Amino acid sequence: EKVYVTGCLSQRYAPELKDGIPQVDAWFGTRDLPRLLKTLKADYKHELVGERLLTTPAHFAYFKISEGCDRKCSFCAIPLMRGKHVSTPIEQLVTNAGNLAKQGVKELILIAQDLTYYGLDIYKKRNLDELVSRLSDVEGIDWIRLHYAFPSGFPMDVLDVMRERSNVCNYLDMPLQHGSTAMLTRMRRGITQEKTEALVDTIREKVPGIAIRTTLIAGFPGETQGDHDDNLQWIERMRFDRLGAFTYSHEEDTHAHTMADDVPAEVKEQRAQEIMELQGGISFELNQAKLGETFKVLVDKAESGHYIARTEFDSPEVDNEVLIPTEGNYLRIGDFAEVRITEANEHDLRGEIV
């Protein structure tokens, strides 16, 4: 028997790991599948063979459209582990989506390290709009959701597809990281507060009612109380539908790792908490506005006397859930239903089938 290790850790630290764990027979990086399969004496084909094994419930799947990232964000180690951006060709992705639909997948959650860079390497232009349009034609795919868009160079054409195609969710996950221009500059994000606000305004204008999720970093090196206050004021103005905040931590070999990690841990935690408390109030107000409205929802699971479902404005695990009583209702996991919202709090909605 032999022991092989693959993934991000071995991609980045193989030399050190080889010395420290000599019991491992071979180390493989994130793009070493051909070498791994050859080592295992397996036949290798570049296209997907057979059915993909899902680690999610059977009705939705995370759908990677590219690997790697060409961005130079100062805090991020992804390019060190995943390498440069490599887009998967549209035809291959359409075939993969069709295979998933035949397995019963109804929702594709498009993911990449940088979703909006898609196509620049192989088509010499940003081609996310064409990809999404082609995927929306796949029979059996009811929802397509976009995750991890980059704000700089955002391909506006994809918004036209979102508005025109009923099975493309009015939802966008776009990590913005901070609202202070000074911090965005130190993070090497290639955008300013003013340009961020203009982008979000344009997105909302082009796709009325769109839900925008973002994530922010609290306590990045050099963040002052003024930067934090600027961030809070920006959040209050932007009124994001969904928001998550994380405290900064050093990543080896990144540009930010050369900076002093000068914001104390307790200050980072306090600032992250203040961000989430502010967003909590915004989320409560936005959810209260949904009372009495009817939404199409997708049932993810059943537990504690309720079906747990989501609207098109919510991604699994990180966004709102819609709770529907199981008593008197019969739904299957993966079913769609029309639900009227009867209760709403900061994180969850409750509803009745109509």
Over residues 207-254, the pLDDT tens digits come to 999 999 999 999 999 999 999 999 999 999 999 999 999 999 999 999
pLDDT at 51: 57
Per residue in 60-108, pLDDT (tens digit) is 999 999 999 999 999 999 888 888 999 999 999 999 999 999 999 999 9
pLDDT band at 57 (very low <50, low <70, confident <90, very high): confident
Q: Is the dihedral of CA 201, 207, 209, 211 positive or negative?
A: negative
pLDDT at 50: 53
pLDDT at 49 over 70: no
Helix (H, G, I), strand (E, B) or coil at 169: strand
pLDDT at 176 over 60: yes
Helices (H), the chain: 8-20, 33-39, 78-82, 90-102, 128-136, 157-164, 181-186, 193-206, 225-238, 265-288
289, burial (CB in 10 Å: exposed 0-12, middle 13-18, buried 19+): exposed
- Calculate the average pLDDT of the chain: 93
Cα Dmax for the chain: 63
Cα(69)–Cα(86) distance, integer angstroms: 8
- Give φ, ψ of 95 to 5 degrees: -60, -45
pLDDT at 150: 96
Cα(53)–Cα(323) distance, integer angstroms: 28
pLDDT at 44 over 70: no
CB atoms within 10 A of CB 162: 22
Cα(178)–Cα(221) distance, integer angstroms: 12
Kindly state the average pLDDT of the residues 57-62.
92
Kindly state the average pLDDT of the residues 21-29.
86
pLDDT at 48: 45
